[in-house]
């Protein structure tokens, strides 16, 4: 009986123990499982990054499509404006042309339409002309640029053509904001005096052409 118990005990101890080879197999299987889990985690991160990239790409494509639609709309508007105000056409507003400049298209308004000689107070005709143009300026940023001829100021309170050109551009900008309803944040001003003539020449016709205000059409 005693011997039987000893044998049974040895058998139970052997069942509770694992051979070194079996232990190595278990450890190897566990390491493989951990590596697989780590690989799945990296794959999830890669998928998340790819999803984010795709979302950004979709957003960019949507923006480009919107920009393309806006550009197409602006081209149509510009074609309509050119048909009405383009150089060589019978302008819808007297003394107004839509001209191409290095920075884009601009409405060129003859100085005589807007102001009396040497003055910065808008005439009634000038106000009417600006009101007609205002609908074509909606939704755009604009810069109002004043220009004069090359004849030095002698009897005007402004002292120089540069100062007069600034005052005139400010008068036009104020009217577009206060009376025509353009947002002030989208209207800029500049004055160039006689330093950016539209045409060369010192004859009366050339000087009349150079006395002007240009309303530059900037981006949306």
CATH superfamily for 80-217 is: OmpA-like domain (3.30.1330.60)
What are the residue boundaries of the structural domains of the chain, listed by start? 80-217
- 200 CB-near residues (< 8 Å, 6+ apart): 206
pLDDT score at 183: 96
Residue 212's φ and ψ, nearest 5 degrees, are -160, 165
The torsion region of residue 28 among left (phi > 0), alpha (psi -120 to 50) and beta comes to alpha
**Residues written for the chain:** 220
Q: What's the pTM?
A: 0.66
The average pLDDT across 37-44 equals: 75
Q: Is the pLDDT of residue 89 over 90?
A: no
pLDDT tens digit sequence for 138-179: 989 999 999 999 999 887 788 999 999 999 999 999 999 999
Inter-residue contact 81 to 93 (CB < 8 Å): no
Q: Is the pLDDT of residue 112 over 60?
A: yes
Nearest 5°: the CA angle 191, 197, 202 is 130
């Amino acid at each position: 009986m005693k011997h039987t118990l000893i044998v049974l005990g040895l058998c139970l101890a052997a069942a509770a123990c694992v051979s070194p080879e079996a232990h190595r197999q278990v450890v190897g299987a566990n390491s493989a499982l951990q590596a697989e889990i780590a690989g799945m985690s990296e794959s999830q991160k890669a998928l998340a990054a790819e999803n984010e990239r795709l979302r950004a790409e979709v957003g960019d494509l949507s923006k480009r499509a919107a920009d393309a639609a806006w550009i197409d709309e602006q081209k149509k508007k510009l074609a309509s404006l050119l048909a009405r105000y383009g150089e060589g056409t019978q302008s819808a507003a007297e003394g107004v042309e839509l001209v191409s400049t290095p920075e884009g298209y601009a409405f060129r308004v003859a100085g005589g339409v807007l102001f009396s000689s040497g003055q910065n107070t808008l005439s009634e005709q000038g106000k009417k002309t600006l009101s007609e143009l205002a609908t074509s300026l909606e939704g755009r940023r604009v810069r109002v640029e004043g220009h004069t001829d090359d004849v030095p100021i002698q009897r005007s309170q402004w002292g120089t053509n540069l100062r007069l050109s600034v005052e005139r551009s400010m008068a036009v900008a104020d009217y577009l904001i206060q009376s025509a309803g353009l947002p002030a944040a989208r209207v800029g001003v500049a004055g160039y005096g006689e330093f950016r003539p539209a045409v060369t020449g010192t004859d009366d016709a050339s000087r009349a052409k150079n006395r002007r205000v240009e309303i530059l059409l900037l981006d949306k």
